[in-house]
Amino acid sequence: MSVHVAFETPQDVHEIVYEMVKALGKDGRGGLKKGANEVTKAAERGTALMVVMAEDVNPSELLAHIPMICKEKSIPFMYVPDQTYLAEAAGMSDGTKTAAVAVVDVKKDGEDRFNEVRGHYETLSA
């Protein structure tokens, strides 16, 4: 397990997280900040509602500070296995990778997926 991964995320939850990112990013049901720097800023400012990080980031130290910031600011965070698929789900161009995304806005029709993922976070991080 990488240094930035605080807990194991089951495979079925990965798919739910990807679907939430896809719904909020591509489908316009919310707003996302993409990339480690933007995610760090959103978390530090307290504007992030949730953070999603890829487990396959190299070097993993790139994201090591984000879980600590999230815990300090009470921001839920989740993990997915693949940064290429995370970028695709977030609506980024083909072949792009992103280490992390921050959910900064959730529209009414995206709340159900967001709340489902937040429930998984509460169970997994306990």
CA of residue 118 relative to chain centroid, distance: 11
Distance CA 39, CA 100 (A): 7
> Domain spanning 11-124: which CATH class is it, in words?
alpha beta
Give φ, ψ of 119 to 5 degrees. -65, -40
* Digit-coded pLDDT (tens) for 17-46: 999 999 887 665 668 999 999 999 999 999
Distance CA 92, CA 40 (A): 19
In the chain, the amino acid numbered 103 is V
Give me the residue spans of the domains in the chain. 11-124
Per-residue tens of pLDDT for the chain, all 126 residues: 566 666 778 888 889 999 999 988 766 566 899 999 999 999 999 999 999 999 999 888 899 999 999 999 999 999 999 999 999 999 888 889 999 999 999 888 888 889 999 998 998 887
Which is it for the CA torsion 61, 62, 64, 65, positive or negative?
Answer: positive
Position 69 scores a pLDDT of 95
Predicted TM-score (pTM) of this structure: 0.91
